[in-house]
Structure 1
Amino acid sequence: MSDTPPSIEDPMAEESVTDTEEFDSLVGIVADGVVGAAGGLVGTAMMTVVFLIAQSLGAFSLTDFAILTELVGLTGYVPEVLFGFFIFLGGGMFPWPLLFASLKAYLPGQSSDAISGAFFGAAMWTGFVLAFYTGQTGVELVLYAVLTLLAHVVYGVGLGMVFEYFASRPDSIV
């Protein structure tokens, strides 16, 4: 037996079906992917600025992106640094935003995606700092650690800000 008479419609039942249909639609999934890629592009662009500052201080070299080209076995076939940076950019635009979207509910900073993104970027840094270490010592090592951490925090903030912007738009399904 139902609590509401048959002549009265239950507005909650209709609303939840609509939300589920929008969330599960192919358009909704693609839109979420575009938002993630845009956030990753913004975050990686902001991160690159910090890397350029680190390079000017001698703590990091953009030529280190050639390591990625070597890992995929294309050394000698493509411009190593440029191709390595495009691999890095692709990682920043696709798998990392997807992981952030999956984990942001569990990250500190529930009130803001930008704060959650900062923590996400700091966690990502732990792998980067080891993978791209090229023998810096002394002050260069300290600058390398601090500036690459800053770059990753900036990446996470940029990624989170884009997520937050699109989530707050009235017609967004993100």
Structure 2
Amino acid sequence: MPDTPPEFSESADSDAVAEDNEFDSLRGILADGVVGAAGGLVGTAMMTVVFLIAQSVGAFELTDFAILMELLGLSEVVPPVLFGFLLFLGGGMVPWPLLFASLKAYLPGESSPVSGAFFGAAMWSGFVLAFYTGQTGLSLVLYGILTLVAHVVYGIGLGAVFDYFETRPDSIV
């Protein structure tokens, strides 16, 4: 072929094409979802440790997760604290990792854990208002600081899992 531009040449790398198709396959999409859920689970577990520390100093109560069941009108039907926390865990494992994956390229930071820290700090702005239960004085200051730390830790954990799977040679994330 005379004067064929390089982007249209027939010598396209078949491995690169196959690799691109793998991202669009059901297997690739499910693998990405599993990575996101694993990252959300790790991040939420790390966040829960900070919440337990906040509870020990009187800045946060784990019973505040019952608010989620009250919003759904299920606090009389199921144990509200347990199911509220499970709903919170589900949110940390599904929608937030999906949002992080879609925004990661636009977040500051050169690595996924650093970008995750910024993502967690942004998420905190909604949490701090939604779960505020009337703290005042030092308790309010500790509530603000410790819940911010919890969300930054969540983002770091989420980003660390994404980073781990992005650097593995056999991963498709």
2:146 equivalent in structure 1: 147
User: What RMSD over aligned residues (CA atoms) do the two structures have, in Å?
Assistant: 1.4
Question: 2:2 & 2:117 partners in 1: Cα distance?
Answer: 48
* Counterpart-to-counterpart distance in 1, 2:47 and 2:141: 18
- Give TM-score, length-normalised by structure 1: 0.94
The Cα of 1:15 is off from its aligned counterpart by 3.0
Query: Does the C-alpha gap of structure 1 residues 2 and 157 become closer, same or farther in structure 2, counting only changes over 3 Å?
Result: farther
- 1:16 deviation in Å? 3.0
Counterpart CA distance in 2 for 1:139 and 1:124 is: 23
Q: Give how far 1:2 is off.
A: 4.9
- Percent identical pairs in the alignment equals 76
Report the 3-state secondary structure (helix = DSSP H, G, I; strand = E; otherwise coil) of the residue aligned with 2:40: helix
What is the alpha-carbon distance in structure 1 between the residues aligned to residue 49 and residue 172 of structure 2?
A: 31
Task: State the shift of 1:19 in Å.
Answer: 1.9
User: Which residue pairs with 1:170 in the alignment?
Assistant: 169
Return the alpha-carbon distance in structure 2 between the equivalents of residues 120 and 19 of structure 1: 29
Whether 2:42 is the aligned partner of 1:42: answer yes
Give 2:136's aligned amino acid. Answer: T
Aligned-pair CA distance for 1:73: 1.2
1:127 paired with 2:105, answer no
Give the match for residue 63 of structure 1.
Answer: 63
The aligned counterpart of 1:29 is 29
How many residue pairs are counted as aligned between the two chains?
A: 169
Distance between the aligned counterparts of 2:73 and 2:137, measured in 1?
32
State how far apart, in whole Å, the 2-side matches of 1:66 and 1:95 are: 20
Q: How far off its partner does 1:3 sit? A: 5.1
Give the CA deviation at 1:75: 1.1
The equivalent residue for 2:20 is 20
Corresponding residue for residue 88 of structure 1 = 88
Question: Once the two structures are superposed, what CA deviation does each residue of 1:128-171 show, in whole Å capped at 9, x if it has no partner?
Answer: 00000000000000000000000000000000000000010000
Change (3 A) 1:15 1:135: same
Letter in 2 for 1:157: I
1:138 equivalenced with 2:134 (yes/no): no
CA shift at 1:27, angstroms?
0.2
Equivalents in 2 of 1:142, 1:159: separation in Å? Answer: 26
Instruction: Name structure 1 gaps, 5 residues minimum.
Output: none
Query: Which 4+ stretches in 1 moved above 6 angstroms?
Result: none
Which range moved further: 66-75 or 84-93?
66-75
